Amino acid sequence: MRTAPSGIVVLNMLTFQNLNLPVAILQNAILSMARLFKTAFRDVMFKECKMFGLQFSDCNEFGLSFKFEGCSLNNSTFYKTAIKKTVFKNSKLHEVDFEECDASGSVFANCDLAGAIFENTNLGKADFRTSFNYSIDPGSNLLKKAKFSLSGVYGLLYKLDIEIEKDN
């Protein structure tokens, strides 16, 4: 661990094993390729963090609860992880793997989801109204009561290979 001159804490390639982080705020941290084996995040807020390639699927799922605001989680994975009611706000989620996870009731507020993978994912009651660049196949994900903006509906129709034009 080191602190950069700007006050940013750098935690690259560390291994967190059986770590318990209850009710914490991590701000301006860089957690690139850190290992999270059995780490327990309970009510943890990540603010303005760069978190590349993290395997949240390795976390202790008991009581798992976190929020992300202004973060970059590119190339991270939540594969088969229960992240119900998780808030992602103003974040970059490029190439993030949400396969087979339960993200029901989660909020994706103003998030860039370019290349994010949703396959057999529970997105019931999830809110995507202000997010963009997502591609979600309604045939292979649960979307009951999920919320999307009209402009975002294109991200649900990509697989149909159809052209949609505005009315004249």
The answer to whether residues 104 and 86 touch, using CB atoms and an 8 Å cutoff, is no
pLDDT of residue 138: 96
The residue behind tokens 């190339």 is 75
User: Cα–Cα distances in Å, from 140 out to 32, 99, 120?
Assistant: 31, 10, 5
Q: Which residues of the chain have pLDDT under 50?
A: 1-6, 8-18
pTM of this prediction? 0.86
Domains observed in the chain = 1-158 (2.160.20.80)
Q: Which amino acid is at 3?
A: T
pLDDT of residue 15: 43
